[in-house]
Amino acid sequence: MTRQITLRRPDDWHLHLRDGDALRSVIAATARQFARAIVMPNIRPPVTTLAAALAYRERILAALAAARAAGELDDTGAAFEPLMTLYLTDRTTAQDIREASASGQVHGVKLYPAGATTHSDAGVTDIARTYPALQAMQDCGLPLLVHGEVTDPAIDLFDREKVFIDRVMEPLRRDFPALKVVFEHITTQDAAQYVAQAPGPTAATITAHHLLYNRNALFLGGVRPHWYCLPVLKRETHRQALLQAATSGSPRFFLGTDSAPHARHLKEIACGCAGCYTAPHALELYATAFEQADALDRLAGFASEFGPAFYGLPPNQGTVTLVREPWAIPESLPFAGDSIVPLAGGETLEWRLRD
Ligand code: NCD
Ligand code: ZN
Ligand code: ZN
């Protein structure tokens, strides 16, 4: 039985850090595990310009320094690098894109179909409106990161990712054959199959929760708001297809936690927010999933190699080590003067990241 795994220091290619006190509460959890992360721009107001991205980056670095000063991080953790993104809107211009790309600080542009998910109200209403921006992104080599669900209320919630492939992804790939596209947090066999064979530079991130759980987890003995995220968990056949894709060794699939913190009281209410908080135990969750598939030897590629290769960034120096050492996930953690429930809080994990 494998007792220990050492990997090149990994990156998180899809992360929500929030802002203000919430940012300060979560930054150390990610910086302890990952060297870099693609930071999602769906804060309020959304990060729609280079200036906003640079200012947000400064706030993240300040939170990191505060965590270091408080003894929450060592020097390696404090060297965490936020990779900034822009929030695509109907009004994003080609010039906005060229400026962002030239800065060297913006590594992707995020497409949220308006209304699809948390803080997506400023998102794109019709992808045709974004064609000048997409053209500029293709020219600059700046990746498009996609929340891949249609918002059509006539489409069943569980089918929205599959329908997005036909309605948006395929035309997009046809119209911009050289555009780098990351299909974020895929949840279906359909998306895994699409990404595996799509033309052009196409990749996908996969979360730990979609590798570990199917939709039964949402209703186990009662409604479980801490398992609610978007795209919502799907049935077991889809989970198995995702696990197969993640452990296939294909460089098109890489790690993106979609750790999406919301305060406990905003999850445990009549209309709770979507998002699972997985940053504190992300690598342990992924190791658990890969071990289930008897594929721990494939974790390094997925977590540490394929993401940098797709984004055109150098792989990290240094390593992290996971040891087989059972520990209980905290039931609750402090969060911006409130508390937050990490995914599977109170449950035991077999793997632990060594400090
Ligand atoms: C994310 C959030 O809370 O920002 N929520 C989620 O359920 N995944 C938004 C997103 O990634 O769609
Ligand atoms: Zn999303
Ligand atoms: Zn997300």
Which CATH number characterizes residue 96's domain?
3.20.20.140
Which residues does 81 contact at the CB level (< 8 Å), separation at least 6?
35, 36
Helix (H, G, I), strand (E, B) or coil at 202: strand
Mean pLDDT of 114-118: 92
Q: What's the CA-to-centroid distance between 296 and ligand 3, angstroms?
A: 25
57-97 confidence digits (pLDDT tens): 999 999 999 999 999 999 999 999 999 999 999 999 999 99
What's the token pair of residue 140?
Answer: 């600059």
Instruction: Report percent pLDDT > 90 for the chain.
Output: 99
Ligand 3 centroid to 102 CA: how many Å?
25
Q: Is residue 270 included in any domain, yes or no?
A: yes
Nearest ligand atom owner, CA of 210: 1
The CA 81 to ligand 2 mean position distance, Å, reads: 21
Residue 48 placed within a domain? yes
Report in angstroms the alpha-carbon separations of 311 from 115, 196, 205: 27, 17, 12
How far away, in angstroms, is 237 Cα from ligand 2 center? Answer: 21
Q: 151 by DSSP, 3-state: which?
A: coil
Which atom of ligand 1 is least distant from the CA of 42?
A: 4
Q: What average pLDDT does this structure show over 214-239?
A: 98
Residue 334 within a domain: no
- Which residue shows structure tokens 């968990």? 233
Bond preceding residue 231 cis, omega within 30 of 0: yes
- Please, which residues have CB within 8 angstroms of residue 45's CB and are 6 or more apart in sequence? 52, 122
Please report, for residues 131, 266, 336, the alpha-carbon distance to residue 261 in angstroms, rounded to integers and kept in the order given: 32, 10, 11
**Would the pLDDT of 1 be above 90?**
no
Q: What is the pLDDT of residues 304-345, one digit of tens each?
A: 999 999 999 999 999 999 999 999 999 999 999 999 999 999
pLDDT band at 250 (very low <50, low <70, confident <90, very high): very high
pLDDT of residue 355: 86
- The Cα 95–Cα 158 span in angstroms is 37
Q: Which atom of ligand 1 is nearest to the CA of 147?
A: 12
Within 6 Å (CB) of ligand 1, which residues are found? 16, 42, 117-118, 147, 229-230, 258, 260, 274-275
C-alpha–C-alpha distance, residues 347 and 224, integer Å:
14
Give distance in angstroms: CA of 33 to centre of ligand 3.
18
Which residue of 14, 17, 18, 42 sits with most ligand 1 atoms within 8 Å of its CB, as the best mutation to test the pocket? 42
User: Is residue 285 situated within a structural domain?
Assistant: yes
Determine the structural domain holding residue 249 and report its residue range: 10-318
How far, in Å, CA of 325 to CA of 312, rounded? 35
Q: Are strands 81-87 and 106-111 parallel, antiparallel or unpaired?
A: parallel
The predicted-structure confidence for 46-58, as pLDDT tens digits, reads as follows 999 999 999 999 9
DSSP code for 274:
P
Domain count within the chain: 1
Report pLDDT digits (tens) over 130-166.
999 999 999 999 999 999 999 999 999 999 999 999 9
Range 232-260 average pLDDT = 98
Paired tokens of 298:
């494939």
Q: Which residues are catalytically annotated?
A: 258
Q: What is the mean pLDDT of residues 20-34?
A: 98
pTM of the prediction? 0.98
pLDDT band at 19 (very low <50, low <70, confident <90, very high): very high
Mean pLDDT of the chain: 98
* Averaged pLDDT for residues 191-218: 98
pLDDT in tens, 255-299: 999 999 999 999 999 999 999 999 999 999 999 999 999 999 999
| Rounded percentage of the chain residues whose pLDDT exceeds 70 | 100
Mutate to test the pocket of ligand 1, among 18, 146, 258 (most ligand atoms within 8 A of CB): 258
Residues with CB under 5 A from ligand 2 (ion): 117, 147
Ligand 1 atom closest to Cα of residue 16: 4
Instruction: Summarize the chain as % helix, strand, coil (round to 5).
Output: 40, 20, 40
pLDDT of residue 79: 98
